[in-house]
Amino acid sequence: MNNKTGNYAEHASVWDWAGNDRSEEFEFWYRMSLRYGDKVLSAMAALGEAGAYLVERGIEVTALDYTQQMIDEGRCRFGHLANLHFVQGDVRDFALGERFDFAFIGTTDLNHLLTTADVSLALQALRQHLKAGGGLALELWYPAEKSWSTPRRRFTSLKSDAALQVWKEGTTQYNSLTKRITISQQVFKQQGGDHIGQFTHEFELQLYSRSEMLRILLANNFELVAEYGDYSFSRWSKGSGKWILEARLRSQV
């Protein structure tokens, strides 16, 4: 999937290290899912946090992720939710034997697929799991016109946990010619004042132009419904804080 795959296995237990309030994001996915139905596929779901939120609001969710440790951690945290189902699988090639009303990939995770061929494979697999007229939403990182980079910075958690402290240090670089982002991080863990470990987390993200994404959607029989610039369903424009595509499957092919 990625020639710098990142250390997601080690990351699973501290995936939500930052402590950010993601309720606005989760509510966005809930409100969009209601447009299509109550059977939802959350792809590239990591721990399934968004799925857990939807389930608590009455939606049945299947959370799919590539990393087994993420699935195991998700089951550990949310296994008490009867209508949240965890499945390990590659978004480009999976078969669940069922169809969904709505599927989504949030938090720019589709950008982990580094070629248009991989993105197309993912949309083909998702298409085969959607009912005719089903919805698909993709949260993407819109490519900037100029290259940029950030110096090494430290990111600390918003959570207050005296037992375990987690923080990150890292750099980010973006090449506007290749539309490729390279992120290099060190994740540190400290317990009771004692350093208990650290690991490297390096990965790349491939950004895609609007024309590329619309072409891939069309080739996979999806029609664009709307583009949003935030979690309040505001219309997207260049310079918006987010770029979220909502599409509908025309028919099964």
pLDDT at 8: 86
Return the closest-CA partner of residue 128 out of 213, 214, 43.
43
Q: List pLDDT tens digits, range 73-129.
A: 999 999 999 999 999 999 999 999 999 999 999 999 999 999 999 999 999 999 999
Residues 131 and 47 in one domain: yes
What is the pTM for the complete model shown? 0.94
Residues 85 and 197 in one domain: no
Residues 56 and 173 in one domain: no
Residue 3 lies in a domain: no
The answer to whether the CB of 136 falls within 8 A of the CB of 126 is yes
Residue 2 lies in a domain: no
Residues 102 and 156 in one domain: no
Amino acid code (one letter) for 35: R
CATH number of the domain residue 118 falls in: 3.40.50.150
Residues 202 and 244 in one domain: no
Residues 111 and 158 in one domain: no
Residues 75 and 193 in one domain: no
Q: Which regions of the chain are under pLDDT 70?
A: 1-5, 162, 252-253
Residue 42 lies in a domain: yes
Residues 110 and 186 in one domain: no
Residues 104 and 214 in one domain: yes
Residues 178 and 119 in one domain: no
Residues 46 and 104 in one domain: yes
Mapped onto helix, strand or coil, the DSSP state of residue 215 is helix
Residue 244 lies in a domain: yes
- Across the strands, what pairs with 103? 41, 136
Residues 27 and 138 in one domain: yes
Residue 215 lies in a domain: yes
C-alpha dist (Å) from residue 227 to 122, 130, 145, 216, 245: 20, 20, 20, 15, 5
The count of structural domains within the chain is 2
Query: What is the residue range of 166's domain?
Result: 148-206
- Across the strands, what pairs with 41? 62, 103
